[in-house]
A = this chain, B = another copy of it.
Amino acid sequence: MYQQPVFTKRTIMTPGPVEAHPSVLRQMGQTILGQFDPEFLQIMDEVKEMLRVPFQTKNEQAFAIDGTSRSGLETGLFALIEPGDKVLVPCYGRFAYLLGEICERAHADVVYLEKDWEAPFAEADVIAAIKEHQPKIVAMVHGETANAQMQPLAEIGQFCRENDIFFVVDMVATFGGTETKVDEWQIDLAVAGTQKCLSVPSGLSLITYNDRVQKYVAGRYQKELGLGADARNDRHIQSNYLDLSQLEKYWGPERLNHHTEATTMIYGLHEGLRLLLQEGIENAYARHQENNRILTEGMQKMGLKMFGNEGTKTPTVIPVLIPEGIDGEKVRALLLDHYKIEIASSFGDLKGKIWRVGNMGYSSRKENVLSFLSAFETVLKNQGYQFEVGAGSSYALSEYAK
């Protein structure tokens, strides 16, 4: 017989999934409602309204998709791409390649603009590439969790808008933790997730898009076979499950019966958004900024160096260079096994070179920062790293206790 598991409480200092807010988990324990129950429809409408706040948008369209973050990226890109369309994907980290992968599966003509992972692009370089390649779509990552770099977007957005190019941005790693100004940066379609700065379990993707996209997508709508009069559309989207034109009609007044909504996850999303709005997004951003500063400076006091360009680092991830002679995976294992604290490794060329300390959502709180720094010092000392033990943890306490 299988046992009912009781999981160990972790302090999760990774770039996601992070600790869910206790109130989110409690809300998810509420009774099931049908997906067209009047009480549930009200929750959906409130989710749409609340989502606009952290997306910093007035877009009518802002809702959730029943899949993890990449399902939203696929939904957005599949909605805009028709076979042969040219997409420019500027890459300064791992997740840009995911965007490219998705575009390729939609039979796009993908142009990769590549650079090292030390910093994001100068916006002028992206604009020059747009001029050269004349894409229909530019798809970029706002905050790259692999290297903790963050891309300025406003000039690229302006250029795309002026030239009638769709600008699609992956905000999974920044949404809720730092400014994500969809309207001001003239982003046409943006995607986020729940399991990072929103402190909701993984399993939903969040999407917003403007009238330009909405109009385009409306031209691709195909009513599903089995739901009555069946007009076919030659330009239909290549997925049914991730068909933005249908999903929009489920979240809108038509209430198209597209799928059986994951009501329990939506309860959690509603509560995560409600808590974020209650704190205030500016306060949430300031909290992430402050904890980022103290984590970074604390580790610097321990003699550790950060990876990448300082001025463009996202506050939601701290990329720490693994010191020479130290086994990065051994340090992670000691933290997990003995302190129940989880930090992350990285991807690609950075695998084995940096640790990634997450600073996201409910995990981004003083007691986590302090207990992580103390534990990290003890583990690094245990592993033979030479530094002034106590320098980082003492600094952090003195900063918080000011």
Contacts and interface: CB of A to CB of B under 8 A. Distances in A.
Nearest to A91: B226
Contact of A240 (B10, B66, B105): B105
A84 interface: no
B69 A67 contact: no
Contacts of A238: 105-106, 238-239
Interface stretch (A207-215, A262-270, A314-322): A262-270
Given A66-B203, A224-B98, A347-B226, A4 B240 contact: no
Given A4-B274, A226-B95, A260-B17, A240 B203 contact: no
A20 B264 CA distance: 10
Given A226-B97, A342-B37, A201 B241 contact: no
B97 A225 contact: yes
Contact of A261 (B31, B202, B267): B202
A231 interface: no
Interface of A: 1-2, 4-10, 12, 14, 16-20, 23, 25-35, 37, 39-40, 42-43, 46, 50, 66-71, 74, 94-98, 100-102, 104-106, 193, 195, 201-203, 224-228, 236-242, 259-265, 267-268, 270-271, 273-274, 277-278, 336, 342, 347-348
19 contacts: A2-B46, A2-B277, A4-B23, A5-B267, A7-B31, A7-B267, A12-B34, A25-B264, A28-B264, A66-B68, A67-B71, A94-B227, A98-B226, A101-B226, A238-B238, A239-B239, A239-B242, A262-B265, A264-B268
